[in-house]
Amino acid sequence: MDTAEIRRRFVAHFERNGHTPVPSASLLLDDPNLLFVNAGMVPFKPYFLGQETPPYRRATSVQKCVRTPDIEDVGKTTRHGTFFEMCGNFSFGDYFKEGAIELAWELVTRPVADGGFGFAESLLYPSILDGDDEALALWRKVTGLPDERIIRLGPKENYWSMGVPGPGGPCSEILIDRGPAYGPDGDFSAEDRYLEFWNLVFMQDELSSVRSKEDFDIAGSLPKKNIDTGMGLERVAFMMQGVDNMYEIDVMFPVIERTQELTGRRYGANPEDDVRFRVVADHIRSSMMLIADGVAPGNEARGYVLRRLLRRAVRSVRLLGYEDRALPELLPVSRDKMGETYSDLHRDWDRISSVAFAEEDAFRQTLRAGTAIFDTATAAVKQSGGRQLSGDKAFALHDTYGFPIDLTLEMAAEQGLSVDEDGFRRLMTEQRERAKADAKAKKGAHRDAHAYREVADSIGRAVEFTGYTDVVSEGTVRGLVAAGGVVTAAREGDEVELVLDRTPFYAEGGGQLADQGVIELENGALLQVRDVQSPITGLVVHKALVLSGEVTPGAAAQARVDVERRRSISRSHTATHMVHKAFREALGETATQAGSENAPGRFRFDFSATGSVPASVMVDVEERVNDLVLADLAVHAEVMTQKEAVASGAMALFGEKYGDQVRVVSVGDWARELCGGTHAHRSGQLGVVKLMGESSIGSGVRRVEALVGGDAYRFLAREHVLVAQLSEVLKVRPEQLPERVHDIVERLRTAEKEIEKVRLGQLLAAGGELAAGAADVAGVKVVAHRVDGAGAGDVRTLALDIRGRLPAAAPGVVVVIGQAEGKVSVVAATNDEARARGLSANALVRAAGPLLGGKGGGKDDVAQGGGTDPSGIDAALAAAGAEIARAAGAS
Ligand code: SER
């Protein structure tokens, strides 16, 4: 049974049983705790936590997931995939344990001819959390299996949480016995033999902290008892398709087949190669799916995971013996398979493939440069009998050649060497600290959600955002956080994070910067709001400085947004939507937004495009947007279902959840986009939009920066004044400026060449005189000359010119020292006869260099050096003279 059919049967089964089918969400959801969606339940988290009301009580989905902690295991076991699809059924306060067990068992055991998976009961083993007698009794009742077929496991296996604070609960898994070829009888830790393929989580607890799978704190019960299940689509597929592992299923194996063709090696011939084949199959697919959802390769977080996957795939193909570009051969194979389910892979192929191919090209470059350095370094280590590559070297490879540490580790391991990882990390930390000292610490990253959770719970509902309509509103202080903990008061001079039950302040998000302003309490206390963030869904935190008075929870407050700043940001946000739309009109639907920043008076907007955007397109887009600014289109927001939004033509960007109510912002009926931000009321309020230029910020992503409103006007006005000044100075009309400036530059160039000729003539004229006046030192013709105002090039020209004029039949030595702009240059030159007498230009420069505050050297015939101390020139000439006398006398 192919994967598509398994998927179809799963969804149909649950749909028949009253579940609403929900499409997979993007791999990227806005959850500060998660890099990627890693389970089917993630998009539903607010429903489990009771933060949002679900539009259905039963749902089913096949969710795209990425997990990378086990990346090293990929290909080594039968079941570790970085990308996988999780089939799930969910109950939000509807059925609980019994319903979940019945539904799962029915699908798994129903005969294939009847729409089920037809697994033999005799091979199935349900597991329970040891002590969950309720589950034990239900499994017995539903399946009729004897007790010994129901396995009791500890919390490590059978208590499920997200690994971070959030929902969790005891679970039951269904295992299938794959037979003695995969492990000993009855050894349930032999995971390839007793393969777990479906996890039923009885989601009932809220966890406040999670230290490990077995060590966590349960803060209390969830508002309702829920069900969250996850069936591994690939696991079921490899069992039903009678293949050994997930990499061999219908949607993955073709990549292995193509890799065999490319490399000429055979899958199944050699265990080491097999791991590589599987890594290729897995990583190619994962990378493609990540790029499709908007990830671009980078050096941090999501971008780094993608880069690592792509590079590991490329390297694995190389290790299999294929050295050409691999991705153009392999990616389309994976697309053709996965595209049957995810049609965006076809639609967005130009962008996806160009991002991936560009990364492979960059990596090939990196490999070329870095491998040479790596080989030298490892050879040196081996030669000195060492077994470890130093942290310094690993760091240099990383810093200078872009070699990721894991690549260095892998390549070192292949050479039988280890790497001083501690040393490497120390250097990395030092570098990071330095970078941090410059850059403002990135907001929002790695926050301890604990204190925020506590405040959110005490409010019990989402903070009300009044800012779509108001810039001033009344509320109550509902919590204070300082230094990562909840506090009960803050005083003048304190930095505090303050939570109100309602606020007009917009928290940074969706590319829009936070509002600023003031909050005044009933007791007269005044706070200056500098930043506003939403660290967890539904909570708005004002980061503020207490200017005067005392702040305590419970106080009534008036929150006032800095209106000018807000209006200016809103104009930028509306302009971003318009520019986005105009680019899509000009470049096609693939020019989708990949990030933006809407700030007062300016915005930047990143989007996917292959190659730079032609200047003519920039002009057209700018004109189109400004025409529609003048058309004074009304901007309005509506809340609707996702389905309605898509039907209305709204651009659904990644990160949006399906099934939810969404907010759609429209500029006239032209640009329509899912958006939670604030906007101008009419496009006319934007005044002017000026695109400042576009550039590349990474593979396949372009960045446009622009000014809006007063800032755009002021920029244009400044440019105008500048042009007027230039036109006055150059005495031509503005439109003649380019030609005039071109003329001037040309004439300047010609004049400079003339001057250079004259200067050189003068310099060399002196050469004849100097050669004629050469001193005689023990039979050696010596010219030692100082020339002020001459740079290194001139000094060399002069020295060689003089040498050429000395009689070739006698030993001749020239030393010229010049200085220009604080730099001193020395050049020594000897002729054949002088060298025959043992005179060396190199020795002369070495003698002179230190006295010039520098060094230098070269060959015996010509050597060159320099320094920074002009006061030493005469002494240096004397030292060179002494060296000549010594060498000439000695011979
Ligand atoms: N959330 C559970 C898991 O990831 C079941 O879907 O295993």
How confident is the model over 672-711, as pLDDT tens digits? Answer: 988 899 999 999 999 999 999 888 776 667 889 999 999 9
Interval 630-636 mean pLDDT:
96
Same domain, 548 and 601: no
Q: How far is the CA of 48 from the centre of ligand 1 (A)?
A: 13
Same domain, 237 and 129: yes
**Residue 385 lies inside a defined structural domain of this protein:** no
- What CATH number does residue 649 fall under? 3.30.980.10
Q: How far is the CA of 201 from the centre of ligand 1 (A)?
A: 7
Flag the least confident range among 156-165, 600-609, 628-637, 659-668: 659-668
Return the pLDDT at 661. 76
Q: How far is the CA of 228 from the centre of ligand 1 (A)?
A: 7
- Cβ of 39 less than 6 Å from ligand 1: yes
- Cβ of 157 less than 6 Å from ligand 1: no
Report the distance separating Cα 844 and Cα 853, nearest Å: 15
State the pLDDT confidence band at 88, using cuts at 50, 70 and 90. very high
Return the pLDDT at 434. 66
Best residue among 229, 233, 234 to mutate for probing ligand 1's pocket (most ligand atoms within 8 Å of CB) is 229
Six-digit token string for 523: 């007791």
- What CATH number does residue 181 fall under? 3.30.930.10
Return the pLDDT at 376. 85
Query: Taking 80 as the threshold, does the pLDDT of residue 586 lie above it?
Result: yes
Same domain, 35 and 153: yes
Return the pLDDT at 759. 80
Same domain, 580 and 695: yes
Q: How far is the CA of 39 from the centre of ligand 1 (A)?
A: 6
User: Which of 522, 539, 561 is at the close of a domain?
Assistant: 561
Return the pLDDT at 833. 93
Query: Taking 90 as the threshold, does the pLDDT of residue 236 lie above it?
Result: yes
Interval 332-344 mean pLDDT:
95
For the chain, the helix, strand and coil percentages under 3-state DSSP, each to the nearest 5: 45, 25, 30
Same domain, 581 and 653: yes
- Cβ of 277 less than 6 Å from ligand 1: no
Return the pLDDT at 32. 66
- Most confident stretch, 470-474, 581-585, 881-885: 470-474
Same domain, 831 and 864: yes
Q: How far is the CA of 38 from the centre of ligand 1 (A)?
A: 9
Best residue among 22, 37, 45, 86 to mutate for probing ligand 1's pocket (most ligand atoms within 8 Å of CB) is 86
Interval 487-499 mean pLDDT:
93
Same domain, 651 and 591: yes
Nearest CA to ligand 1 atom 2: 230
Q: How far is the CA of 146 from the centre of ligand 1 (A)?
A: 26
Q: Is beta strand 151-153 parallel, antiparallel or unpaired with respect to 124-129?
A: parallel
State the pLDDT confidence band at 52, using cuts at 50, 70 and 90. confident
Domain count along the chain? 5
Interval 322-341 mean pLDDT:
95
**Residue 31 lies inside a defined structural domain of this protein:** yes
3-state secondary structure 381-408: HHHCCCCEECHHHHHHHHHHHCCCHHHH
Longest dimension (CA), the chain: 116
Q: How far is the CA of 30 from the centre of ligand 1 (A)?
A: 19
Provide the percentage of residues in the chain whose pLDDT is more than 70: 96
Interval 148-171 mean pLDDT:
92
Same domain, 521 and 471: yes
Quickly tell me which residue has 């020295």 as its tokens: 799
- Cβ of 687 less than 6 Å from ligand 1: no
Report the distance separating Cα 715 and Cα 601, nearest Å: 11
Return the pLDDT at 650. 75
Closest alpha carbon to 562 in 508, 515, 497, 603: 515
* 215 φ, ψ (degrees, to nearest 5): -125, 100
Query: Taking 90 as the threshold, does the pLDDT of residue 866 lie above it?
Result: no
Q: Is beta strand 159-161 parallel, antiparallel or unpaired with respect to 166-177?
A: antiparallel
**Residue 520 lies inside a defined structural domain of this protein:** yes
Type of residue numbered 522: E
Return the pLDDT at 8. 96
Interval 353-369 mean pLDDT:
87
Return the pLDDT at 890. 64
The overall average pLDDT reported for the chain is 90
User: What is this structure's pTM?
Assistant: 0.55
Return the pLDDT at 480. 95
- Cβ of 88 less than 6 Å from ligand 1: yes
* 642-664 residue pLDDT tens: 778 777 777 754 344 445 678 89
- What CATH number does residue 508 fall under? 2.40.30.130
- Cβ of 201 less than 6 Å from ligand 1: yes
Nearest CA to ligand 1 atom 6: 230
Q: Which residue has the higher pLDDT, 192 or 60?
A: 60
Report the distance separating Cα 809 and Cα 179, nearest Å: 94
Q: Domain range holding 305?
A: 251-351
DSSP, collapsed to helix, strand or coil, labels residue 282 as helix
User: Environment class of residue 415 by beta-carbon count within 10 Å: exposed (0-12), middle (13-18) or buried (19+)?
Assistant: middle
Query: Taking 80 as the threshold, does the pLDDT of residue 589 lie above it?
Result: no
**Residue 437 lies inside a defined structural domain of this protein:** no
Please report which residue ranges of 694-775 form alpha helices under DSSP H: 710-730, 737-772
Interval 1-20 mean pLDDT:
96
- Cβ of 41 less than 6 Å from ligand 1: yes
User: Which of 561, 581, 608 is at the close of a domain?
Assistant: 561
Q: How far is the CA of 200 from the centre of ligand 1 (A)?
A: 7
Residues in the chain: 891
Nearest CA to ligand 1 atom 4: 39
User: Which of 183, 214, 242 is at the close of a domain?
Assistant: 242
Stretch (H or E) spanning 624: helix 615-630
Same domain, 236 and 92: yes
Q: How far is the CA of 338 from the centre of ligand 1 (A)?
A: 23
Type of residue numbered 791: G
* 101-142 residue pLDDT tens: 999 999 999 999 999 999 999 999 999 999 999 999 999 999
**Residue 26 lies inside a defined structural domain of this protein:** yes
* 788-823 residue pLDDT tens: 888 888 899 999 999 999 998 999 999 999 988 888
Taking the CA of residue 230 as reference, the ligand 1 atom at the shortest distance is 6
Return the pLDDT at 712. 95
Same domain, 809 and 843: yes
* 413-470 residue pLDDT tens: 888 899 999 999 888 888 777 665 544 333 333 345 678 888 988 888 889 999 999 9
> How many other CB atoms are there within 10 angstroms of residue 573's CB atom?
26
Q: How far is the CA of 286 from the centre of ligand 1 (A)?
A: 19
State the pLDDT confidence band at 637, using cuts at 50, 70 and 90. very high
Six-digit token string for 341: 């389910």
Query: Taking 60 as the threshold, does the pLDDT of residue 493 lie above it?
Result: yes
Interval 308-322 mean pLDDT:
91
Flag the least confident range among 422-436, 552-566, 724-738: 422-436
**Residue 33 lies inside a defined structural domain of this protein:** yes
Return the pLDDT at 189. 85
Q: How far is the CA of 88 from the centre of ligand 1 (A)?
A: 8
Q: How far is the CA of 219 from the centre of ligand 1 (A)?
A: 20
Return the pLDDT at 323. 87
- Cβ of 228 less than 6 Å from ligand 1: yes
- Cβ of 42 less than 6 Å from ligand 1: no
Q: How far is the CA of 159 from the centre of ligand 1 (A)?
A: 10
**Residue 413 lies inside a defined structural domain of this protein:** no
Please report which residue ranges of 29-93 form alpha helices under DSSP H: 45-48
Same domain, 546 and 606: no
> How many other CB atoms are there within 10 angstroms of residue 133's CB atom?
9
Return the pLDDT at 783. 94
**Residue 358 lies inside a defined structural domain of this protein:** no
DSSP, collapsed to helix, strand or coil, labels residue 546 as strand
Best residue among 91, 162, 228 to mutate for probing ligand 1's pocket (most ligand atoms within 8 Å of CB) is 228
Angle, helices 737-772 vs 792-805, to 10°: value is 40
Q: Which residue has the higher pLDDT, 580 or 164?
A: 580
- Cβ of 574 less than 6 Å from ligand 1: no
Same domain, 806 and 837: yes
Report the C-alpha dihedral over residues 271, 276, 279, 284, rounded to 10 degrees: -150
Return the pLDDT at 465. 95
Query: Taking 80 as the threshold, does the pLDDT of residue 837 lie above it?
Result: yes
- Cβ of 199 less than 6 Å from ligand 1: yes
Flag the least confident range among 101-115, 291-305, 516-530: 291-305
> What is the residue-wise DSSP string for 328-350?
HHHHHHHHHHHTTT-THHHHTHH
Query: Taking 80 as the threshold, does the pLDDT of residue 399 lie above it?
Result: no
Contacts of 333 (CB under 8 A, 6+ apart): 254, 255, 258, 284
